[in-house]
Amino acid sequence: MAQKPSIPKGTRDFNPEQVAKRNYIFNTIRGAFETFGFQPIETPSFENSDTLMGKYGDEGDRLIFKILNSGDYFDKIKNGILSAIRIGEMFYLELSKDEINSIDWLRRESRNQIVQNFLKVSKHGGKNSIKNLPPDDVLDYIISTIHGNYRNLESSPSDDERQKVFADIYANTFLNIKSNSITPSISEKALRYDLTVPFARYVVQHQNEIEFPFKRYQIQPVWRADRPQKGRFREFFQCDADVVGSKSLWQEVEFIQLYDTVFSALKLDGVTIKINNRKILSGIAEVIGASDKLIDFTVALDKLDKIGEEKVKEEMLSKGISEDGISKLQPLFTLSGAFESQIESLKGILSSSQEGLKGIEELSFINNAISALGLSTSTLQLDVTLARGLNYYTGAIFEVSAPETVKMGSIGGGGRYDDLTGIFGMKNVSGVGISFGLDRIYLVLEELGLFPETVTKNVEVLFINFGDNEALFSLKAIKQLRLQGINAELYPDTAKMKKQMNHANKRQIPFVVLVGDQEIESNTYTLKNMISGEQDKVSLETLMSKIKKS
């Protein structure tokens, strides 16, 4: 039985019309990037796992697609599993160290390698690891653990009780294989999660070739093992622009203008560019006594618009933030009004935090500049609950919302990161960047009917194929039409006239050209308008003119 074709959840096929519409968005964004002085780069679809892991927080790390090593990737861990099973069997039998040392397979193999294999796949390879102990100490540690459990029983346990103790230890300790400890052994590469971390790697790797400040843009797909839903996919394109090597706040000002330029060009009026500053969030955490829980605090706060105030408070409590501290946050949940009035309120809340006041100063600078320069169709809005859960933002944070008439998540975002390249050994290189959510922008434009009709421009003229002589004559004309920028093609087969005409109708091709013996003799073409039905015998020049005017 033939296999039913399918694609993975969270991925999509795109038909010609959809590709044309996506290219319209790509080209609009690319044009704005280049107008603002950004240069294109590209990075590989996959990176070394250690390049990506640990850069996005625990939630992000879980969403990274790992790539299995080629070849027999299981070979590196099967010895570890076998060692775990053998060690478990030894202790199940409660053998003494002398008896263990007499076992043939243990004498034959490296004692150190057996223990290391065991630690690779067992829970003992975790944070409270014993993996740095000598092999004999590891074995002693495990033996004492077993004997300790055994001694907890009555002095004369039944065989069933004794068996249960060792069965539990065997199952819960020796065969408790953790996927996180195995993954590095079977997967050394991963699909990129975003474009920012690969960009940081690129900057460090090519620092001697780059002129700083370096303004780059990148339009490529990324992958996340997320739960698919409307506007959220496992494979999607990001359109990023970043500047590294400058701490100037004028870069933030330009990025706000860049957002406004793109959405104005797409005729997407009513977009809101939300802004916050990570220093303000740090200041708030300081004021409520939760500086040591900044990440937990910001991750929870960032979910306010998704799960609501009460759920956010519950999450903060579960992360160890005190009720007294959470009560001090109450003014934030109700903060609203104009940018300037919110800034004044924040000055009162953060009066005791130098870090928070620095964030207010930076936001005020940006707002004053945008007020003086003006925006065409977008609105700049301060949102102090905007956190974005990524660990690397240190200054301004951006998030772009679609017009209120459309129910859609953010369609763009970004922020300032003062030392992202530091994770690759290049310290004190400040950067700031933004991203456009191509797929969500597409859905918004589609819902609002904002794609121009010309976006899906198809073949403009189809030449009917009556035979080899007629086809060759037609292709000479088609060559000239294409040189003039007119999309033209020849029907490839000498099929019935009706079939060829139906093909033109189904593809919504507006003109059809018929070439027979008479047309070849007179060096003319019969041009038929498929919309009006009008049909004329014309020269090649007239044919070109009529098609161009349509």
Rounded mean pLDDT, 165-180: 52
180 falls within a domain: yes
pLDDT at position 128 over 60: no
Whether the pLDDT of residue 272 is over 60: the answer is yes
Residues contributing to the annotated binding site: 194-196, 224, 238, 242, 388, 392-393
DSSP sequence for 35-98: HTT-EE----SEEEHHHHTTSSHHHHHHTPPEEPPSS-TTHHHHHHHHHHHHHHHHHHTT--HH
Query: Which pair of structure tokens corresponds to residue 287?
Result: 């004021």
pLDDT, tens digit, 9 for 90 and up, residues 402-414 = 998 998 888 999 9
User: Could you tell me if residue 73 is left (phi over 0), alpha (psi between -120 and 50 degrees) or otherwise beta?
Assistant: alpha
Confidence of residue 174 (pLDDT cuts 50, 70, 90): very low
Bigger pLDDT: 498 vs 105? 498
Least confident of 179-193, 232-246, 461-475: 179-193
Residue stretches of the annotated binding site for L-histidine: 194-196, 224, 238, 242, 388, 392-393
338's tokens: 């104009």
Q: Which two tokens stand for residue 490?
A: 């020849």
* CA–CA distances in Å: residue 239 to residues 18, 32, 259, 378: 18, 11, 12, 19
Residue-level pLDDT at 300: 83
Residues 149 and 174 in one domain: yes
Q: What is the mean pLDDT of residues 56-78?
A: 79
Q: Does residue 99 sit within a domain? A: yes
**228: domain CATH number?**
3.30.930.10
SS (HEC) of 439-455: HHHHHHHHHHCCCCHHH
As given in the structure block, the two tokens for residue 536 are: 């004329």
In this structure, are 281 and 394 located in the same domain? yes
Length reported for the chain: 550
- Give the confidence band of 152 by pLDDT, cuts at 50, 70, 90: very low
Compute CA distances 378 → 163, 264, 445, 516, whole Å. Answer: 71, 8, 16, 57
Note whether residue 124 is domain-resident: yes
Mean pLDDT for 166-184 is 55
- The residue with greater pLDDT, 112 or 202, is 202
In angstroms, the Cα distances linking 168 to 99, 148, 355, 404 are 23, 13, 52, 57
Percent of the chain topping pLDDT 90: 55
Please say which residue of 164, 184, 204 terminates a domain. Answer: 184
- Structural domain includes residue 408: no
Query: Any idea what the CATH number is for the domain that residue 473 is in?
Result: 3.40.50.800
Mean pLDDT of 343-358: 91
Q: What pLDDT, on the 0 to 100 scale, is given for residue 156? A: 46
Domain residue limits at 102: 74-184
Do 156 and 192 belong together in one domain? no
| DSSP reduced 3-state for 139 | helix
Tell me the pLDDT band of 322, cut-offs 50, 70 and 90: confident
pTM equals: 0.78
**61 vs 488, higher pLDDT:** 488
Same domain? 139 vs 176: yes
Residue 202 and residue 79 share a domain: no
Say whether both 285 and 264 belong to one domain: no
Cα 489 from Cα 128, distance rounded (Å): 69
What tens digit of pLDDT does each residue of 74-109 get? 666 665 555 555 555 555 455 555 655 555 555 555
- CB within 8 Å of 345: residues ≥ 6 apart: 331, 335
**Residue 225 sits in the same domain as residue 324:** no
For residue 173, the model assigns a pLDDT of 46
Count of Cβ atoms closer than 10 Å to residue 323 Cβ = 9
Same domain, 214 and 285: no
The per-residue pLDDT for range 451-469, each reduced to its tens digit, is 998 887 789 999 999 999 9
Tally the C-alpha atoms within 13 A of residue 476's C-alpha that lie toward its C-beta.
11
Chain segment 416-457, per-residue pLDDT in tens: 988 878 888 898 899 999 999 998 999 999 999 999 988 877
**Does 330 or 400 have the greater pLDDT score?**
400
Most confident of 112-126, 363-377, 380-394: 363-377
